[in-house]
């Protein structure tokens, strides 16, 4: 499809926005009027700049408060429109967006609105221009696409058509199914926007909280599907009003924008493939890789920190089982959990250490077809990473995740030791006395800068095929933490994305060390939380102390056996319950840079992360 984006969606000057849009691979733009008004140049000069960048100006917008007006205001608006048409001719913009009227002077008379839009379209036709009419969700008399379509039909002019915007329809919970009955040739333009589900005034929601498709909670794929069913072949565009995007570097935002359209097209293509042939080619990337679990976590360290990490992971019950054949890299294991400590000078991992301190620099995920997984990732605008390998060592495909960490795709066919036998000189794997019964990586939590949350949600959906859970707000003593879990269908790969809304929280302080986005806590699963905690304490592991008041309150909220409550109190174990099962967990004290571990036991089909207990942990850490 012809892919476009509104200039209002990005930060920067108009020239900077255009350069970012072109670099991300877009075909065209919607020129937001304010961007042109503040541009130091003529419409003709802008036309040349846009053309030199390989772009087109697909839409000039918005033209406000036009239809359904008293005669005097209508005549003045026609003169206003003629001046806009002058600009559009000079800049080469073929279409104007006319949004539904919000003026208190407007008259609730669809026939008047249709007649006035007919006259506007007639004047546009004299210049071979077109007008698209869009229903604003907060329009005074026209807020639904069905109302706008009825007016367009009544106006009956070939140069007047409908503009559809997913936000305006889905924010009002208007059913998009009726779109499929509109003739595709009368839909002149399509704007897509997602958004989180928020209980707020729709105008404020629209102007501050829209997001790219795949970043929010709307069924944007279902909306797009209905538009395609009409036979629509026009531009697919993004119009995003978002406070964070207005300050985020526009090159990164533009890449997210393109990724969102590719994701949207690919998802709609799958839904429609068996239903009807498409009149327009939709993006067809390699399918999402079936992930089966986390294979390893890699830490970046220097020589001194590697020794400190050695002590820490041994206290957690891990044993050193191998050293890399050609690099200063050590492998630790417990159960099915593999930790890699990379202290190789001049490596990617070492670069992470020198910039941000000891941190997690890479995750390994198991999948059946790593090359296909990397193929999908690069098709979805992620960058491939190839690490240097020595003789007889395996090349494990990897991509760069948002923020710079690596995601390695490890072939399932290698089994438990295949990768490590090739790259490491393995040592005696006999269990040592300090084994704590930790069996698997339950989830990995990332602390992100505010402007990275939407990027990560889209990345995990579009590239890894994970689905986002509910967004929660958790209380740190010094501010709020916004938290959202993402996981694959089998729940073998789970990530938790955390953002601090305050600069004073522990998460924010961790970000200041790690450079804006990194793993800050790792949850390890066991079968018996009490036995694991006892063994870990015997190994020297120190846990975050939990207030007795927590357990007193817990007994009033959840019906627990007194002996279980007593065991939890004695061990410092926290508890959560859902209709599907229970979750018992305990947190270690923080390591260098704020990294800490969680030991967890899932009972039944519990599918969350014990988020209600996070404030108890954060409050305790704040009192240290």
Q: Do both 245 and 182 map to the same domain? A: yes
Give the pLDDT confidence score for residue 389 in this predicted structure: 73
Give the pLDDT confidence score for residue 357 in this predicted structure: 58
Query: Which two three-digit tokens encode residue 429?
Result: 């794997």
- The mean pLDDT of 372-378, rounded to a whole number, is 96
* 505 in a structural domain: yes
β-partners of residue 4 are 28, 237
11-57 confidence digits (pLDDT tens): 999 999 999 999 999 999 999 999 999 999 999 999 999 999 999 99
Q: Which of 93, 101, 94 is nearest to 36 (CA)?
A: 93
Give me the number of domains the chain comprises.
3
Give the pLDDT confidence score for residue 58 in this predicted structure: 98
Q: Do both 162 and 248 map to the same domain? A: yes
Query: Residue 346: pLDDT above 90?
Result: no
Q: Do both 503 and 614 map to the same domain? A: yes
Q: Do both 236 and 326 map to the same domain? A: no
252-265 confidence digits (pLDDT tens): 999 999 999 999 99
Mark which of 272, 303, 329 sits at the end of a domain: 272
**Average pLDDT of the chain to the nearest whole number:** 92
pLDDT-derived band at 391 (thresholds 50, 70, 90) equals low
Q: Is 408 within any annotated ligand binding site?
A: no
Q: Do both 607 and 547 map to the same domain? A: yes
pLDDT-derived band at 388 (thresholds 50, 70, 90) equals confident
Residues 6+ apart with CB under 8 A from 228: 268, 272, 278, 280, 282
Cβ neighbours around 338 below 10 Å, total: 24
Q: Do both 413 and 469 map to the same domain? A: no
Q: Do both 267 and 298 map to the same domain? A: no
Q: Is 191 within any annotated ligand binding site?
A: yes
156-208 confidence digits (pLDDT tens): 999 999 999 999 999 999 999 999 999 999 999 999 999 999 888 999 999 99
Query: 335's torsion region: left (phi>0), alpha (psi -120 to 50) or beta?
Result: left
Residue 494's domain is classified under what CATH number? 3.10.180.10
Q: Do both 158 and 219 map to the same domain? A: yes
548-605 confidence digits (pLDDT tens): 999 999 999 999 999 999 999 999 999 999 999 999 999 999 887 678 999 999 999 9
pLDDT-derived band at 395 (thresholds 50, 70, 90) equals confident
Query: Residue 463: pLDDT above 60?
Result: yes
Strand order in the sheet with 424-426: 383-385, 398-400, 406-411, 359-367, 291-300, 337-342, 329-334, 319-324, 424-426
Give the pLDDT confidence score for residue 431 in this predicted structure: 62
C-alpha distances in angstroms, 572 versus 209, 520, 526?
A: 40, 21, 16
Query: Residue 274: pLDDT above 80?
Result: no
Q: Is 521 within any annotated ligand binding site?
A: yes
Give the pLDDT confidence score for residue 301 in this predicted structure: 87
Q: Is 303 within any annotated ligand binding site?
A: no
* Dihedral (CA of 23, 28, 32, 33) sign: positive
Query: Which two three-digit tokens encode residue 413?
Result: 């066919």
Q: Do both 336 and 443 map to the same domain? A: no
Give the pLDDT confidence score for residue 110 in this predicted structure: 97
* 24 in a structural domain: yes
- pLDDT > 70 in the chain, percent: 94
Give the pLDDT confidence score for residue 18 in this predicted structure: 98
Q: Is 134 within any annotated ligand binding site?
A: yes
Q: Is 432 within any annotated ligand binding site?
A: no
* 15 in a structural domain: yes
Contact 291, 465 (CB under 8 A): yes
pLDDT-derived band at 473 (thresholds 50, 70, 90) equals confident
β-partners of residue 132 are 97, 161
Mark which of 368, 392, 426 sits at the end of a domain: 426
Give the pLDDT confidence score for residue 354 in this predicted structure: 55
Residue 254's domain is classified under what CATH number? 3.20.20.150
pLDDT-derived band at 269 (thresholds 50, 70, 90) equals very high
Q: Do both 419 and 453 map to the same domain? A: no
* 277 in a structural domain: no
Q: Do both 37 and 107 map to the same domain? A: yes
More confident residue, 561 or 508: 561
Name the 3-class secondary structure at 569: helix
- The mean pLDDT of 289-304, rounded to a whole number, is 91
Give the pLDDT confidence score for residue 114 in this predicted structure: 98
Mark which of 404, 426, 448 sits at the end of a domain: 426
* 328 in a structural domain: yes
Query: Residue 429: pLDDT above 70?
Result: no
Range of the domain at 238: 3-272
Query: Residue 112: pLDDT above 70?
Result: yes
Q: Is 598 within any annotated ligand binding site?
A: yes
Give the pLDDT confidence score for residue 471 in this predicted structure: 87
* 282 in a structural domain: no
* 185 in a structural domain: yes
- The mean pLDDT of 319-326, rounded to a whole number, is 89
Q: Do both 369 and 249 map to the same domain? A: no
Query: Residue 351: pLDDT above 80?
Result: no
* 283 in a structural domain: no
């Amino acid at each position: 499809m012809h892919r476009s984006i509104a200039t209002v969606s990005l930060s920067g000057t108009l020239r900077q926005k255009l350069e970012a849009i072109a670099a991300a691979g877009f075909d065209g733009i919607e020129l937001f009027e304010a961007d042109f008004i503040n541009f130091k140049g003529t419409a003709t000069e802008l036309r040349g700049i846009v053309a030199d960048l390989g772009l087109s100006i697909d839409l000039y917008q918005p033209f406000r408060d036009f239809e359904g007006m008293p005669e005097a205001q209508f005549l003045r608006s026609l003169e206003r429109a003629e001046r806009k048409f002058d600009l559009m001719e000079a800049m080469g913009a073929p279409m104007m967006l006319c949004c539904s009227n919000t003026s208190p002077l407007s008259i609730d008379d669809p026939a008047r609105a249709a007649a006035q839009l007919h006259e506007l379209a007639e004047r546009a036709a004299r210049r071979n221009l077109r007008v698209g009419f869009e229903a604003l969700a907060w329009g005074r008399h026209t807020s639904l696409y069905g109302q706008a379509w009825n007016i367009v039909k009544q106006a009956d002019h070939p140069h007047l058509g409908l503009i559809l915007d997913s936000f305006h329809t889905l924010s009002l919970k208007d059913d998009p199914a009726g779109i499929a009955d509109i003739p595709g040739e009368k839909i002149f333009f399509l704007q897509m926007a997602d958004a989180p589900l928020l209980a707020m005034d729709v105008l404020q929601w629209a102007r501050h909280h829209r997001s790219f498709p795949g970043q929010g909670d709307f069924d944007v794929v279902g909306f797009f599907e209905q538009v395609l069913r009409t036979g629509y072949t026009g531009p697919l565009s993004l119009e995003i009003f978002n406070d964070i995007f207005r300050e985020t570097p526009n090159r990164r935002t533009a890449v997210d924008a393109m990724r969102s359209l590719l994701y949207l097209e690919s998802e709609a293509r799958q839904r429609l493939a068996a239903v009807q042939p498409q009149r327009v080619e939709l993006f067809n990337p390699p399918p999402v890789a079936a992930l089966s679990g986390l294979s390893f976590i890699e830490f970046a360290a220097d020589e001194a920190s590697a020794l400190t990490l050695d002590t820490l992971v041994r206290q957690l019950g891990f044993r050193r089982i191998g050293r890399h054949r050609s690099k200063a890299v050590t492998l630790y294991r417990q159960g099915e959990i593999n930790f890699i400590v990379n202290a190789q000078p001049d490596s990617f991992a070492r670069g992470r250490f020198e910039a941000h301190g000891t941190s997690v620099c890479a995750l390994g995920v198991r999948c059946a077809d790593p090359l296909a997984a990397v193929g999908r990732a690069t098709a979805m605008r992620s960058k491939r990473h190839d690490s240097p390998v020595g003789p007889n060592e395996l090349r494990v495909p990897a991509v760069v995740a948002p923020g710079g960490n690596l995601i390695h795709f490890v072939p399932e066919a290698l089994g438990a030791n295949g990768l490590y036998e090739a790259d490491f000189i393995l040592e005696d794997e006999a269990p040592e006395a300090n084994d704590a019964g930790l069996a698997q990586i339950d989830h990995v939590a990332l602390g992100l800068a505010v402007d990275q949350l939407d990027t990560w949600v889209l990345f995990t959906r579009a590239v890894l095929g994970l689905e986002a859970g509910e967004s929660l707000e958790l209380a740190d003593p010094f501010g709020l933490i916004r938290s959202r879990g993402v996981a694959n269908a089998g729940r073998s790969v789970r990530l938790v994305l955390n953002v601090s809304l305050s600069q004073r929280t522990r998460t924010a302080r961790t970000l200041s060390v790690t450079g804006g986005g990194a793993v800050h806590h790792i949850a390890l699963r066991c079968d018996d939380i009490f036995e694991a905690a006892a063994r870990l304490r015997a190994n020297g592991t120190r846990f975050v102390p939990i207030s007795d008041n927590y357990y007193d309150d817990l007994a009033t909220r959840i019906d627990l056996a007194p002996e279980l409550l007593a065991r939890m109190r004695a061990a410092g174990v926290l508890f959560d319950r859902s209709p599907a099962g229970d979750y018992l967990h305990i947190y270690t004290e923080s390591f260098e840079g704020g990294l800490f571990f969680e030991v967890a036991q899932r009972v039944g089909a519990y599918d969350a992360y014990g988020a209600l207990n996070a404030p108890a942990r954060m409050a305790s850490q704040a009192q240290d």
